[in-house]
Structure 1
């Protein structure tokens, strides 16, 4: 592990993930953590984190971003003490809160997401994973009965402040980059000792665009496939029942 992105969700974590991938790093974001390390994270959620477990989980991974990893940044840094920490924030806590609640709203109001979460095996697991992903050792997880989707605005802003403050205070200055996207490639590449790539600086998950393209493309594709199978099975079952009903009538 070379880089730990300690940022809260909706602080440009998808953009930073894409930056790191452009620079050649293997990055595990929310999608990869669920898809490839879901069972391991279930143990972490149940038993708590350990340095040994994180070393095994991320032995072949260069960087992590977004929850659940960002809420376990302390233990991750103990497991990989040479890793550099990148922290991104919003212009102010009010902007962050608006963006976070907009994303939560988008998930809740999406009929497709509702169907996926309730009628597919992967969707049900994914929903539980999302709820537990905030329950780490970070300030974000200490909101009473948060269950990931807490709507208490003042509690959210307080935890946002506490999280950012803790990262800034606890990480040595030479290991920490407080990164502003408006600065472009230069400070990030200098911090990581990488050449500036000859590509435009990315910007991902703008607004509340949270479905397949951004939040978890692999998982949502799998959910959509499972939902199609469920719909096909239901159609076949209804067809059989109609046929049998007609036979009885005849």
Structure 2
């Protein structure tokens, strides 16, 4: 954790996966991203509950992000202030969208899609499925509520205002000389100038559009639902078998 050199304070859906790939290409590798939570260090997921529940959670944060030299996206962006205390020489990048409304639209269609669900019952079912698919998501969402002061997935939450408040907070708490406000549309030069590294000859990464996200999540949900359905069938079958045995021999 002591090696963290770049701190991404921008919220998810601000080009953070493109930033992860860009930073790794520039030598800041590995870079933490929500993808790491889902696919790489799954053995660290128990730490989310610990971080949420404990007031003195620096050790758990160090363990969760240990081995990374950069961090972007959720959940890392929520800990940018803790990161700065641990790594005072690190530089901070606030990734942004063209407008708060543009970010809110993208977030509603992807990571905070429950924000649009008005039916209480439908929301509860979707939350149950979401937690069943990824138990660590529950604690990450609880941390979001603690950090933002609102629940991003609640229909009453104004996501554009949440985004605006967050960016204002980052700008007010990070020294100007250590902060880059960056839209991935700007490409390599401002990023490389800020980090003091050469501009690559390759194009700046452009990945994880809203369409890509929906396609990826649809595939993951179908796969996970198949596993859950199989488990459900097995449980029901075992229960039915036990009932038959009790009927005949009980």
TM-score normalised per structure 1? 0.74
Q: Structure 2 vs 1, CA of residues 95 and 23 (structure 1 numbering), >3 Å: closer, same or farther?
A: same
The residue number in structure 2 matching 1:5 is: 8
Q: d(CA) in 2 for partners of 1:183 and 1:119?
A: 35
> Retained in 2: the 8 A contact 1:68–1:136?
no
> 2:131 matched to 1:131?
no
Question: Which whole-Å deviations, capped at 9, do the CAs of 1:46-96 have from their partners, x for residues lacking one?
Answer: 113533433343331111111122122111211211111001111111111
- Name the SS for the 1:209 alignment partner: helix
Q: d(CA) in 2 for partners of 1:118 and 1:14?
A: 25
- Name the SS for the 2:180 alignment partner: strand
Q: Structure 2 vs 1, CA of residues 212 and 129 (structure 1 numbering), >3 Å: closer, same or farther?
A: farther
> Retained in 2: the 8 A contact 1:54–1:79?
no
> Retained in 2: the 8 A contact 1:97–1:153?
no
Aligned residues: 229
Q: d(CA) in 2 for partners of 1:43 and 1:232?
A: 28
Q: d(CA) in 2 for partners of 1:207 and 1:49?
A: 36
- Name the SS for the 2:213 alignment partner: coil
Q: d(CA) in 2 for partners of 1:191 and 1:177?
A: 7
* Paired residues for 1:85-96 under 5 Å: 85-96=92-103
The residue number in structure 1 matching 2:122 is: none
- Name the SS for the 2:197 alignment partner: coil
Q: d(CA) in 1 for partners of 2:11 and 2:107?
A: 10
What's the RMSD between the two structures over aligned residues?
Answer: 3.7
The Cα of 1:211 is off from its aligned counterpart by 5.3
* Paired residues for 1:222-241 under 5 Å: 224=223, 227-228=226-227, 230-231=229-230, 234=233
TM-score normalised per structure 2? 0.74
The Cα of 1:105 is off from its aligned counterpart by 3.1
Q: d(CA) in 2 for partners of 1:119 and 1:168?
A: 33
> 2:31 matched to 1:27?
yes
> Which 10-residue stretch deviates more, 229-238 or 10-19?
229-238
> Retained in 2: the 8 A contact 1:119–1:227?
no
> Retained in 1: the 8 A contact 2:33–2:72?
yes
The Cα of 1:17 is off from its aligned counterpart by 1.3
Determine which of 168, 174, 178 is the counterpart of 2:171: 168
Question: Which whole-Å deviations, capped at 9, do the CAs of 1:82-114 have from their partners, x for residues lacking one?
Answer: 1110011111111111111111339999xxxx8
- Name the SS for the 1:59 alignment partner: coil
Q: Structure 2 vs 1, CA of residues 169 and 214 (structure 1 numbering), >3 Å: closer, same or farther?
A: farther
